[in-house]
């Protein structure tokens, strides 16, 4: 009788162990194939983002492959507005390998209230700007433009998350469309922090 009980207990234990092992193997299999995890969306390419210029023409960022791009959220009535002069000089000095793109924004102190035509006239008349200026957009918040979603979100640009806190912040992207660096408003266009990437 004792032998029968031992046999039954042993068989039950063995059955439970086999079942546990089978479930473990199935779990590992599911985990290994990614079926047990949430899919991760690939990072978007900067070159796929659509945007218009101040004059309403479509900008194709892919046209700038092979050059470094400096994006700056600009404003006409800001204490940093004189940086337009430095940006124009930077444009003239490194135009063979650098593209400067000004992005007007009215989200900081309402310091860019003008229309597209008014912004264009202001930039040309006061600072002789001839680098590319985009349409006016939001660089933060619910209506944040896809360009700034890419520039500020690590899950999209694959490098770093930041937030735009004021006018004339600067984002640098390399020749292959990869995020390079971010500079706050007080970093002047002629700063070594920027020019080091251009030498």
Backbone φ and ψ for 163, nearest 5 degrees, come out as -135, 145
Percent of the chain with pLDDT over 70: 78
Domain range summary for the chain, segments of one domain joined by +: 1-39, 46-198
Tell me how far apart the alpha carbons of residues 38 and 68 are, in angstroms, rounded to a whole number.
35
pLDDT surpassing 60 at residue 23: no
Which uninterrupted H or E stretch holds 183? strand 179-183
Look at residue 24 in the predicted model and tell me its pLDDT: 45
Backbone φ and ψ for 80, nearest 5 degrees, come out as -95, 0
Look at residue 34 in the predicted model and tell me its pLDDT: 41
Which listed residue (51, 59, 78, 180) is catalytic? Answer: 78
Q: Give the SS3 label for residue 198.
A: helix
Q: Which two tokens stand for residue 156?
A: 């999209």
151 Cβ contact partners less than 8 Å away, ≥ 6 residues apart: 71, 157, 162, 171, 179, 182
pTM: 0.78
Would you say 44 and 148 are in contact if contact means Cβ atoms under 8 Å apart?
no
Tell me how far apart the alpha carbons of residues 150 and 193 are, in angstroms, rounded to a whole number.
22
- The pLDDT confidence band at residue 25, using thresholds 50, 70 and 90, is very low
Backbone φ and ψ for 39, nearest 5 degrees, come out as -70, 145
CATH of 46-198, picked from 3.30.1440.10, 3.40.30.10, 3.40.50.300, 3.40.33.10, is: 3.40.30.10
- The pLDDT confidence band at residue 40, using thresholds 50, 70 and 90, is very low
Active site residue 78: yes
Would you say 106 and 76 are in contact if contact means Cβ atoms under 8 Å apart?
no
């Amino acid at each position: 009788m004792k032998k029968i009980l031992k046999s039954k207990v042993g068989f039950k234990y063995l059955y439970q162990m086999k079942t546990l092992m089978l479930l473990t193997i199935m779990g590992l299999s599911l985990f290994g194939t990614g079926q047990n995890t949430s899919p991760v969306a690939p990072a978007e390419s900067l070159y796929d983002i659509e945007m218009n210029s101040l004059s309403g023409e479509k900008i194709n960022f892919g046209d700038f492959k092979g050059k470094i791009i400096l994006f700056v959220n600009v404003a006409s009535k800001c204490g940093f507005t004189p940086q337009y002069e430095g940006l124009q000089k930077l444009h003239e000095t490194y135009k063979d390998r650098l593209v400067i793109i000004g992005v007007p924004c009215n989200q900081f102190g309402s310091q860019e209230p003008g229309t597209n035509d008014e912004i264009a006239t202001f930039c040309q008349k006061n600072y002789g700007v001839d680098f590319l200026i985009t349409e006016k957009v939001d660089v933060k918040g619910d209506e944040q433009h896809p360009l700034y979603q890419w520039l500020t979100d690590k899950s999209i640009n694959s490098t770093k998350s930041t937030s735009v806190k004021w006018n004339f912040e600067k984002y640098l992207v390399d020749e292959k469309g990869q995020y390079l660096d971010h500079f706050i408003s007080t970093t002047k266009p002629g700063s070594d922090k920027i020019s080091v990437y251009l030498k």
